Chains A and B, each alone.
Chain A
Amino acid sequence: MHPLHQILARAAGREKVKPGEFIVAKVDLAEINDLYLQVLLSFKEMGGDKVWDPQKITFVMDHYAPAPTIKAAENQKKMREFAKEQGIKQFFDINRGVCHQVMPEEGLVWPGMMLVATDSHTTTHGAFGAFSTGIGATDMAAVLLTGEIWLRVPEIIKINVEGKIRKGIMAKDIILYIISQLGTDIALYKAIEFDGEVVKDLSLDERLVLCNMSVEMGAKATYIRPDEKVMEYISHTNSEKYKEFKSVKRTNNINSEVYESVYNFDISDLEPQIALPNRVDKVVPVSQMIEEPIHQAFIGTCTGGRINDIKIAAEIIKGKKIAPWVRLLVIPASSQILKKCIELGYIQILLDSGATLATPSCGPCLGAHEGVLAPGENCISTSSRNFPGRMGSTDAKIFLSSPATVAASALKGSIADPREFF
């Protein structure tokens, strides 16, 4: 069995599971964000009184942090009250950051676990060797009530990324390219494993980007075999799980029969990539879009606001000023990242260049607040989606790229190739 199937089998209390089967699986952690008051409404409607296990539930206030409207403030208030009355201690308020960064930092993610969260980008945690998937509000209410979820066991697609990463190329370039080649529905109802020398060489921050963006190919979950980088991280965040996992004997070979299909990519010649407005799979090399004017540049979110992302941007921007007509928004993905970036001087560099800093949250990624776009505006962003209206007006255009490309573009005031700054 594939390691993801092993996780599902354990969670379903079975020896084996087969792709296509329907199972009921026990959940190790359920995360709820501040978008979905419906979770609590559905829970009450189901006749819910006490949650199944307050230790296995966490709330993260990230999409509307801090609350931009009275209604959002009210939703957060009701969640705080619910957590308190149910004895849910792992409540991360508006001062903490984006759930997909906060959960790993808090030691709530480990290899082999079964994680569900009310956010589609929950595929992120496959980078730690977890089975993690996004679910909706009523699904989550059922988890709060029963600790279980119904799932169809997914087929597994393997994506090998080989070659040598050229200077100026980041995980975002790689995954945008892969999405453009495989399409937005290649992994519908399926899971993706990433492997290959490039993936092994990538830092954990960068691997999270591959797994995060896999949902844009329809993936239900992702997987990267946990290695010493993951173990090193877990040893700092959750020593108990670290010891537990370390003592488990694992085979390094996964039988190739477990894969429904295998795709191989060599990224040795890859140039910086950019997704053009409205489609994540409409991707071209940045060099084809040079001089397209931009009004806003955004560095942040669960797929572009980590230390490595902000570091690269600061390196490119150091000692320079952004174009006077551009707003450069910088929103670190968590309070830990923000503090670290202050300590390392990155935030000072970015502020000196003319950047606007906001506290850790999802920011304008989903068009809720903190930098929504006016009709006719162009935004280049490290975020994950460029659907019509995603970041404000449906008449605004969103380009997706790596933090390096966003930083270079902010300096030029138009889409720019970051390689000229290295």
Chain B
Amino acid sequence: MFKSIITGKAFKLGDDIDTDQIYPGRYLHLTSPEEMAVHVMEDAVPNFYKKIEWEDWIIVAGKNFGCGSSREHAPRAILCAGIKALVAESFGRIFYRNAINVGLPVLKYPEIIKEVHQNDSIEINLKDGLITLYDPERKISIEKYPTQLLNILKSGGLISYLKKYGKYSY
């Protein structure tokens, strides 16, 4: 279900994390969520899936997160693994649209990697375009989603959006 307020702990990653690291090519033939989830980030962070298993996490990354291949497995595996959202300085463009299309909230903020420490608590308000950080408590304004994209996210991704509307609204 779509939630406009998302909370979680920050899991920090660097710049240019490509889709081969997020979801290695050797598992591209898999399509079930359970099978895909365990391989998420396998080539970037050893045992990532084990590390995030029991809590709510928000990935905080540097620039160009998800660059590389068009594989939707990358955001799908992140979503299936239970990650709540991603905030990065910038995203690879296909990854960005794939994330929206599978219903994974992705947000851009240029300085985010400097603002956040590993394990910091984060709250994201998608409706108002705000990120709240604690210790000290402060709010960061981010660019709001264009209506078209917010509508896809609100529907829980493009599948439910098209199931509901049958076509794109102009």
Residues of A within 8 A of B (CB): 22, 24, 35-38, 41-42, 45-47, 63-64, 69, 71-72, 75, 118-120, 122, 134-139, 141-142, 145-146, 148, 150, 184-185, 188-189, 216, 218, 220, 279, 366-368, 385, 387-390, 394
Contact = CB atoms under 8 A, between A and B. Distances in A.
B56 interface: no
Interface string B40-80: 00010000000000000000000110011111110010000
Nearest to A154: B93
B158 A139 contact: yes
B162 A150 contact: no
B63 A185 contact: yes
A139 B101 contact: yes
A387 B18 contact: yes
Contacts of B68: 120, 385, 387
Given A24-B168, A218-B93, A387-B20, A120 B25 contact: no
30 contacts: A24-B168, A38-B72, A42-B158, A42-B159, A46-B158, A46-B159, A47-B162, A64-B29, A118-B70, A122-B70, A135-B94, A136-B97, A136-B101, A137-B72, A139-B98, A139-B101, A142-B158, A142-B162, A146-B162, A146-B168, A148-B167, A184-B64, A185-B67, A188-B91, A188-B93, A189-B93, A216-B67, A218-B92, A366-B28, A388-B43
A393 B134 CA distance: 40
The majority secondary structure among interface residues of chain A is loop
Contacts of A148: 167-168
Question: Which of B30, B162, B163 has the largest number of chain A CB atoms within 10 A?
Answer: B162
Given A69-B29, A71-B30, A366 B158 contact: no
Instruction: Place the interface of chain B in its size category.
Output: 35 or more
A389 B98 contact: no
B148 interface: yes
A47 B73 CA distance: 21
Given A146-B162, A389-B24, 10 more contacts: A42-B159, A45-B163, A71-B29, A119-B70, A120-B94, A138-B157, A145-B167, A220-B93, A389-B21, A394-B43
B20 A385 contact: yes
A46 B71 CA distance: 19
B90 A136 contact: no
A150 B170 CA distance: 9
Given A72-B29, A141-B159, A146-B168, A188 B64 contact: yes
